[in-house]
Amino acid sequence: MKKNYFLAATALVLSLFIYMFYRTEKTVVNEMAIALFSPETFSAWKSSIVSHLPLHEHIIYSLPEGLWVFSITLTSKPFFVPIAEHNIKLLYLPLIFSLGLELLQLLHISNGRFDGWDIGVSLLFWLIAAYGLPQKVATLHILRPFSIHSAACIVNYGLVWLAHVWRN
């Protein structure tokens, strides 16, 4: 389980790096960085990194979503939430969230643009996290008992919010 959490954290850090230095400055995380360091400092860092490490468009725009789907899937894997008389496995929530976001973008209900590559990359990373990496713990209620693993899972969902674009 520790290995999965290390992989999840690594995926989030890589995704954060791409969002901060290659994506729009209107994301929550970039607005926080600009407020913390100043627009000039942030812009200088961003220019330096982009000029020294150019990335392909698919890496910039599709990989981060795949990485956060991977990360959230790994941390969600052992948990369920009870709804009515059923225990719903959180394993499926990252995929539903990712596909739902793309659908909202396709219908122009959400900021961003629909991209088939995002769907493919998200599905691939979800499959790797869901079925390619072993889980050696029983399925657990997300809140009972509340644990460090529950907290990591919930925080992981919250971190995805940092990639949100407030306005176009």
Query: For the chain, how long is the longest CA-to-CA vector?
Result: 55
> Does a structural domain hold residue 50?
no
> Does a structural domain hold residue 42?
no
- pLDDT tens by residue, 93-111: 999 989 998 899 899 888 7
> Does a structural domain hold residue 90?
yes
> Does a structural domain hold residue 150?
yes
Question: Which letter does DSSP use for residue 23 in this model?
Answer: S
End-to-end CA distance of the chain: 39
Residue 164: the pLDDT is 60
Please provide the DSSP assignment of 99-161 as one string: HHHHHHHHTTSSSS---HHHHHHHHHHHHIIIIIS---S--EESSTT--HHHHHHHHHHHHHG
- pLDDT tens by residue, 107-156: 988 877 888 999 999 999 999 999 998 777 678 888 888 888 889 888 88
Query: Which token pair is 145?
Result: 């008992």
145 preceded by a cis bond (ω within 30 of 0): yes
Query: Which token pair is 60?
Result: 């910039």
> Does a structural domain hold residue 73?
yes
Domains: count for the chain: 1
Which residue shows structure tokens 């913390």? 36
Domain boundaries, position 92: 2-23+55-163
Residue 1: the pLDDT is 65
Other CB atoms within 10 A of residue 47 CB: 11
**In the predicted model, is pLDDT for residue 43 greater than 80?**
yes
> Does a structural domain hold residue 89?
yes
> Does a structural domain hold residue 35?
no
Instruction: Enter the pTM of the model.
Output: 0.86
Nearest to 11 by CA among 131, 160, 114: 160
- Strand ranges for 39-164 from DSSP E: 79-83, 86-89, 140-141
> Does a structural domain hold residue 6?
yes
Cβ atoms of 52 and 21 closer than 8 Å? no
Question: How far from 98 is each of 1, 93, 141, CA to CA, in Å?
Answer: 24, 8, 23
